[in-house]
Amino acid sequence: MRFFEDSSIGIKVSPITTVIFAGALILIVIFAWLGIFNWLFTPS
């Protein structure tokens, strides 16, 4: 019974963590592309 409770908690927590990690990866990719575009279009 305790194993079922732990598994249910894991199932409840995992979608939130996957959404947070997905959002963080998308933001990192967007900022990386913006940084690359700024580096390409600005003469340094």
pLDDT tens sequence across 1-44? 555 566 666 566 677 888 899 999 999 999 999 988 888 888 76
Quote the CA–CA distance of 42 and 44 in Å, as a whole number. Answer: 6
In the prediction, which pLDDT does 40 show?
Answer: 81
First to last CA, the chain: 63
In the prediction, which pLDDT does 23 show?
Answer: 95
* Cα-Cα-Cα-Cα dihedral sign, residues 9, 15, 21, 27: negative
Side chain identity, residue 35: G
In the prediction, which pLDDT does 42 show?
Answer: 80
In the prediction, which pLDDT does 7 show?
Answer: 61
Quote the CA–CA distance of 28 and 22 in Å, as a whole number. Answer: 10
pTM for the structure as a whole? 0.50
